[in-house]
Structure 1
């Protein structure tokens, strides 16, 4: 058993992810990090199933409330078998539509109309960036064509990202996921709600609003491996549309070899590649960052065709632009100052 490794994982989550975002999760993570009994239980899980947000969501799915750590520990010990079963049968398919605010400044500069393909799409909620409303800093709100949206995404910016004056036109959308979630399945949507951290009612509200959007505009999210499916989806996109393959917080769940394979595959396809991953997840992107990936814990990097453009908050709540770029054709990088 390597309890120290598990302890470091939960300390890191508490310090760099939960702090300032969820006091409940921060308290639970700090508590577990110094509790040998809970660390020993967690160590029984496969390595890829030990992440704090999965364990915590599973506990909440089974009914634990926003309780203090001693009560949380007692509940986990008493319900460990049931908790472990949920952890083993569920995944962290957090469908965080707030991340669309980090994508929008890039999408809006591409020549439209757009055909969007999301890999690791979960329930496909991020496939509707043209149907959300946005507020960047104190600027006026951007609305979809035809009126306001029930989903308003707020984002604080630095570095002068190219905020558009209108939303892009999307004419086709599709996704792929190992286990697509159905927006009309109440149990699956309850799991998505449990993936929203305690103390973040605004995230829960916009998740429910995004589900309503998706129910009104059904989209195809096929079941499959992204490496095996992405080329087929690109080929299915309509002629005359600019195809964009995008993903957010997905590649970290792949092995290094699978990530490299995906990058090689998508670079060879007639499409743009838009990514939003942890700073060290895509090695070729990390090598271009102005600050070493290890010095930016808890942040994501937005990149187009492998060129980093900005740092984003994990839930799209912030965007720090790292350089003015000019758009080129697919498979060409943006030109940096």
Structure 2
């Protein structure tokens, strides 16, 4: 039996507890609001997604306010809300995920040809343009001189990249690419962030400024269908890496199940930073490592290379914890 909208929003409240108290409040409010539920239940299920509702609300101009005022503003514009939700997709483009991306790329011989699935505006396709301050148990590691400066805590010095990657070619694939050079594209990305996380908005704006002079190419298409054609343009003498950073959860289950084999089939390395259960092979391997006491069974996200987990992490890449070596007590 499909999960009802009210239960969906209650579940989302738990998932958002660590990232946005305001959105938790809104989730719980929607779950108990008959009028809002009636509006949402009249729409296709994908249009009812909590993060999408919050993004569209911000896009339309809804105030960052407690639930009664926020919902009253939206219900007063119910027609506009119902028209916008079905034509939009959740498209956050979190540059903080470049930290796990760099940690994985550091283990791959370059030069690199980087192809990202679900690239949005391509902000994670240019990791070498940013700066990094990585706090490790072996001391701080600073890389790059660009903005924004992405900060993260890494449990274990071995996770820290030794240098910025040598990326010779880059390409993104997205169902509906966001043009980072257009005002409406930048405004949609900003609307997709929680209103009570100003540091993420500042990071987004700095990353957009870094990308604007020479934005990477992001082509429109279904991730797995468009991947071989996009990869065919990668130059010889490079190692092709397909990155998937918080995208797999939006793929149909059948596509998630064949994701790694499809990447291997085009001769590429698979670098994934996804929710722990999003990719079946990674989820199974993570369960094995957790049973051995080498990994946290309840980790939020897992960084993996070709299906082999390297670390767990927070969803936005500001903390990574390496898989413990075999034979080491937890």
Is the aligned partner of 1:182 residue 2:183?
A: no
Q: After superposition, give the CA deviation of every residue in 1:225-272 in whole Å (9 maximum; x if it has no partner).
A: 121221122221111111110011212222111223433211212211
Question: 2:298 matched to which residue of 1?
Answer: 296
Rate the CA distance shift 1:238–1:16 in 2: closer, same or farther, 3 A. same
Contact preservation (8 Å) 2:260, 2:306: no
* TM-score calculated relative to the size of structure 1: 0.88
Q: After superposition, give the CA deviation of every residue in 1:254-301 in whole Å (9 maximum; x if it has no partner).
A: 21112234332112122110111111111111111144999637x111
| 2:324 counterpart SS class | coil
Paired residue for 1:77, among 46, 52, 75? 75
Task: State the alpha-carbon separation in 1 of the partners of residues 95 and 170 from structure 2.
Answer: 15
Task: State the alpha-carbon separation in 1 of the partners of residues 106 and 213 from structure 2.
Answer: 23
1:38-53 → structure 2 map (5 Å cutoff): 38-53=36-51
1:90-101 → structure 2 map (5 Å cutoff): 90-101=88-99
1:89-128 → structure 2 map (5 Å cutoff): 89-128=87-126
Contact preservation (8 Å) 1:142, 1:167: no
Question: 1:199 matched to which residue of 2?
Answer: 196
Aligned residues: 319
Task: State the alpha-carbon separation in 1 of the partners of residues 49 and 279 from structure 2.
Answer: 20
Q: After superposition, give the CA deviation of every residue in 1:24-47 in whole Å (9 maximum; x if it has no partner).
A: 111111211222332222222212
Contact preservation (8 Å) 2:122, 2:215: no
Q: What are the ranges of 5 or more consecutive residues in structure 1 without an aligned counterpart?
A: 326-337
Question: 1:10 matched to which residue of 2?
Answer: 9
Task: State the alpha-carbon separation in 2 of the partners of residues 41 and 192 from structure 1.
Answer: 24
Rate the CA distance shift 1:198–1:84 in 2: closer, same or farther, 3 A. same
Root-mean-square deviation over aligned CA pairs? 2.2
Contact preservation (8 Å) 1:53, 1:92: yes
Q: After superposition, give the CA deviation of every residue in 1:77-108 in whole Å (9 maximum; x if it has no partner).
A: 21122112221111111111111112211111
| 2:212 counterpart SS class | helix
Contact preservation (8 Å) 2:46, 2:86: no
Q: What are the ranges of 5 or more consecutive residues in structure 2 without an aligned counterpart?
A: none
Q: After superposition, give the CA deviation of every residue in 1:286-318 in whole Å (9 maximum; x if it has no partner).
A: 111144999637x11111101122212111121
Question: 2:233 matched to which residue of 1?
Answer: 236
Deviation at 1:112, TM superposition (A): 1.2
Task: State the alpha-carbon separation in 2 of the partners of residues 279 and 126 from structure 1.
Answer: 20
Question: 1:269 matched to which residue of 2?
Answer: 266
* TM-score calculated relative to the size of structure 2: 0.90
Q: After superposition, give the CA deviation of every residue in 1:52-97 in whole Å (9 maximum; x if it has no partner).
A: 1110110011111110111112122211221122211111111111
Is the aligned partner of 1:210 residue 2:198?
A: no
Question: 1:334 matched to which residue of 2?
Answer: none
Task: State the alpha-carbon separation in 2 of the partners of residues 192 and 231 from structure 1.
Answer: 27
| 2:206 counterpart SS class | helix
